Amino acid sequence: MSAEAALATWLGDYRGNRIDLPGADDPRLAERRERAIALVESAGLPHRRLEEWKYSDLLHRLASEYEPATPWAGALVREGALADPFADIACNTLIFANGFFRADASSPPEGLTVTTLAESGVPDGALPALDAQLARADDAIGNLNLALARDGVFITVPAGFKAERPLHIVYLDPAASGARRARTVRSQIRLEEGAELTLIETYLGKGGAEDVTNAALDITLSERAVLSHVRVLSDGESATQIHSLNAALEKGARYAPTILNLGAGYCRTTMRLEMQGAGAHAEVTALAALGGREHNDLTTILRHAVPGTTAMQTVKSVLAGKSRGIYQGRVVVMPGANGTDSTQLAKSVLLSREAEADTKPELEILADDVKCAHGATIGALDPAALFYLRARGIPKAEALAMLVEAFLGDALGAIADEPLREAAAAALRARLAALEVTL
Amino acid sequence: MGAALVLEIENLHVTVDGREILKGLTLAVNAGEVHAIMGPNGSGKSTLSYALAGRDGYAVTEGSMRLAGKDLIALTPEERATMGLFLAMQYPVEIPGVVTMTFLRTALNALKRARGEKEIDAAGFLKEVRAAAKTLNVSEEMLKRALNVGFSGGEKKRLEALQMAVLKPRLAILDETDSGLDIDALKLVAEGVNALRAPDRAFIVITHYQRLLDYIVPDKVHILAGGRIVREGGPELAKDLEARGYDAIVREAA
């Protein structure tokens, strides 16, 4: 299928189904969807000639017929390629099945406002983030998501509210069928002044078919709001997962996302962080443990817009088989944004000769007084460390597993909540045990 | 050959990166003995310790080494450890993300498993480690930290001694354990080693200086130069060396 035909397929989904999309009778949303699809049509689908997509050929993944996913009312099992690692953690849980919210299986937390796109459309407070999306005219994936979103959840944490339990959103893939399906979900989380929340997201795909998930999450953190965010993703080897994570941080807000990719055929996460208020701090940790022909691309765009904002990005990949791990980290320091401190650290360990890691830092510094450090290493495990462990009697396979786990596990320290960290570590261990060292 | 022979090295030739470093080294160590191997820089001291422990890249091209009568050459490092060989390293490796305590227990249980013994439970292990840690002045806090990460030179060497105390080897090789240690740390490590001296255990203490041997008194001293043992004697040889220097002693031997 040509690029034009691929684009026509997706535009056709919109044009053929727009009257059935949620909010079709709400001009606030319908008009924005129209603008979004017009932007997609003029930008075209992402292709490798675009610098931002040079490592991750998405066009191939989008270039075939699909069916829009439909709601699933059947039984739910909280597992996919992986069992839900957080099943035993006391959480308020929101369940999505096949890309649609399942109210009957969910337990929304008290004190938070939770509505869904399919059920209640878009609340007024969610419109600014949609307009911010429309302002990114080149972001075809984000705009396609806005145009086609079938469901999603809008969450508001009121000022000063400190959620006791984590909020866990689980995305399940229960409707195994031969057909290739597309799921489009767009959600928002807004934390008002001084609010605090731990958000967990678990994507548990089976990916028997060549399903495409296009998920966007818009995050708005008002002054002094604190969001800890753990995302674990696991899907089948033919699945395509495309994620947009857009966060805006006001004065003194803190955002700490930890993303674990524990296997998916193709996963692209585009993370945009807008540091808009002095003292805002972002702590990004992204880990991937891949094998087979799996492909993970993390592209971050971090904009320091005002003086005195800080960010730390730690990206680590363990790559076995013929897998590929990509990190493109762009840091933009706007004119006058003095006192910016933005660090990027990317490390990859290759467990086979055919695995590949690509790291591309991009710094665009338009202010004088800034600290922007970046470091990258790609290599095999430290032979001296391996010898040290073996010399103490630890068999080679076990020693290698220890080192791989240590390499990634070290970064899990970013998850402050201990039971949560342990659960994430256990999921990581299980995944690593399944990867083969062929060096 | 008595039953008490722990280590027997004959005419050992070892090549590193295509260069022959050990050129026919012969050495015999009996159970219960402490042997010191002294030598100038570049004489092959560390090569000997790595070759014994089985590190990749240390190729034995000729000769033999036997631990308790068993040929070591074809064995992996972990198999040698299982047989009771322990190398206290000159430069202990920092391993971020591996908690020291977890590492110690994994190592001890790996040895026990390989020997067909029952694994030690958490409580029993803790008790054993705490006792040894106290003697060596290794704090609980150190044991909770990542292995060797951010440890001072002295802390690293004390931790090596602690590992030795927990793993209870049949033959312990101390590779320049004195390097980077101040006198207090040196005494502490030496006391740790002396406490482990036993009729069924042997030590090889590799050092450049005589100082360590004031605290760990050897039964025999060997001078290593140019990849061979060039002189052997009792503790007085180390003192003689200290007084007259390597040049004089090695020249005499030649």
The alpha carbon of residue B55 is apart from the nearest alpha carbon of chain A, in Å, by: 6
Cβ of B81 and A392 within 8 Å? yes
Cβ–Cβ contacts within 10 Å for residue A383, how many?
12
Question: pLDDT tens digits, residue range B195-241?
Answer: 999 999 999 999 988 899 999 999 999 999 999 999 999 999 999 99
Give me the phi and psi of A95, to 5 degrees please: -110, 130
Q: Which residues of B touch A394 (CB under 8 A)?
A: 78, 106-107, 110
Between CA A185 and CA A173 the distance in angstroms is 13
Token output for B113: 């498993």
Cβ atoms of A298 and A266 within 8 Å: the answer is no
Question: pLDDT tens digits, residue range B160-173?
Answer: 999 999 999 999 99
Token output for A158: 């009121």
Cβ of B81 and A409 within 8 Å? no
Cβ–Cβ contacts within 10 Å for residue B127, how many?
10
Range with the largest mean pLDDT of A198-207, B2-11, B64-73: B64-73
Cβ atoms of A140 and A58 within 8 Å: the answer is no
B87, B95, B96: residue with CB nearest A391? B87
Cβ atoms of B114 and B170 within 8 Å: the answer is no
Token output for A47: 């292709």
Between CA B84 and CA A292 the distance in angstroms is 39
Give me the phi and psi of A378, to 5 degrees please: -135, 130
Contacts of A135 (CB under 8 A, 6+ apart): none
Q: Give the SS3 label for residue A75.
A: coil
Residue B184 has pLDDT above 90, yes or no: no
- When pLDDT is cut at 50, 70 and 90, the band that residue B175 belongs to is very high
**What is the amino acid identity at position B127?**
K
Q: Indicate left, alpha or beta for A128 from its phi (over 0: left) and psi (-120 to 50: alpha).
A: alpha
Helix then strand then coil, in percent of chain B rounded to 5, is: 40, 30, 30
pLDDT value of residue A439: 73
The alpha carbon of residue B162 is apart from the nearest alpha carbon of chain A, in Å, by: 12
Cβ–Cβ contacts within 10 Å for residue B85, how many?
25
For residue A435, being part of any structural domain is answered with: no
pLDDT value of residue A177: 65
Between CA B20 and CA B15 the distance in angstroms is 4
Check CB contact of B144 with chain A, cutoff 8 Å.
Answer: no
Half-sphere exposure of A7 (CA within 13 A, CB side): 16
Question: pLDDT tens digits, residue range A207-252?
Answer: 667 899 999 999 999 999 999 999 999 998 899 999 999 999 999 9
pLDDT value of residue A30: 97
Where do the H-state alpha helices sit in chain B?
Answer: 45-53, 77-82, 100-114, 122-135, 140-144, 153-167, 183-196, 235-253
Chain-centroid distance, C-alpha A65: 25
Token output for B7: 């280590």
Strands B202-207 and B34-38: parallel
Query: Could you list the residue range(s) of the whole structural domain that residue A281 is in?
Result: 3-383
Cβ atoms of A415 and A402 within 8 Å: the answer is no
Cβ atoms of A319 and A292 within 8 Å: the answer is no
Token output for A141: 């994936």
Please name the helix (run of DSSP H) or strand (run of DSSP E) that holds residue A364, with its range, or none. strand A356-365
pLDDT value of residue B1: 43
Between CA A100 and CA A139 the distance in angstroms is 24
pLDDT value of residue B2: 46
Strands A266-275 and A281-290: unpaired
Token output for A432: 């690593």
For residue A185, being part of any structural domain is answered with: yes
- When pLDDT is cut at 50, 70 and 90, the band that residue B90 belongs to is very high
Token output for A147: 């145009």
C-alpha closest to that of A393 among B133, B103, B136, B218: B103
Token output for A186: 């767009």
For chain B, positions 202-221, list CB contacts with chain A under 8 A.
none
Between CA A40 and CA B127 the distance in angstroms is 66
For chain A, positions 83-112, list CB contacts with chain B under 8 A.
none
For residue A404, being part of any structural domain is answered with: no
For residue A420, being part of any structural domain is answered with: no
Rg (CA), chain A: 21
Cβ of A387 and B107 within 8 Å? no
Token output for A324: 């590929």
For chain A, 439 residues long, the average pLDDT of each consecutive 10-residue run is 94 96 97 98 95 94 92 89 91 96 94 96 97 98 98 98 96 81 97 98 85 97 98 94 98 98 97 98 98 97 98 97 97 97 96 96 95 92 95 94 90 93 93 85
Mean pLDDT of B113-119: 95
Cβ–Cβ contacts within 10 Å for residue B248, how many?
12
The alpha carbon of residue B251 is apart from the nearest alpha carbon of chain A, in Å, by: 36
Cβ of A393 and B96 within 8 Å? no
Check CB contact of B162 with chain A, cutoff 8 Å.
Answer: no
C-alpha closest to that of A217 among A191, A182, A237: A191
Cβ of A409 and B163 within 8 Å? no
Q: Which residues of B touch A345 (CB under 8 A)?
A: none
Between CA A288 and CA A298 the distance in angstroms is 10
Helix then strand then coil, in percent of chain A rounded to 5, is: 25, 40, 35
For residue A407, being part of any structural domain is answered with: no
Q: Is A429 exposed, middle or buried (0-12, 13-18, 19+ CB in 10 A)?
A: middle
The alpha carbon of residue B166 is apart from the nearest alpha carbon of chain A, in Å, by: 11
For residue A405, being part of any structural domain is answered with: no
C-alpha closest to that of B164 among B207, B204, B124: B204
Strands A196-204 and A226-234: parallel
Q: Which residues of A touch B167 (CB under 8 A)?
A: 392-393
Q: Give the SS3 label for residue A350.
A: strand
C-alpha closest to that of B34 among B229, B206, B161: B206
For residue A106, being part of any structural domain is answered with: yes
For residue A207, being part of any structural domain is answered with: yes
Between CA B212 and CA B210 the distance in angstroms is 6
pLDDT value of residue A156: 98
**What is the amino acid identity at position A86?**
F
Cβ of B53 and A391 within 8 Å? yes
Contacts of A352 (CB under 8 A, 6+ apart): A319, A320, A321, A322, A436, A437, A438, A439
Cα dist from A253 to A97, A281, A336, B198, whole Å? 32, 6, 20, 62
B56, B97, B167: residue with CB nearest A409? B97
- If one counts the domains in chain A, the total is 1
Strand partners for A167? A92, A199
Strand partners for A241? A213, A267
DSSP A310: E
- B161-193 burial code (b ≥16 CB/10 A, e <16): bbbbbbbbbbbbbbbbbbeebeeebbebbbbbb
Check CB contact of B241 with chain A, cutoff 8 Å.
Answer: no
Q: Which residues of B touch A425 (CB under 8 A)?
A: none
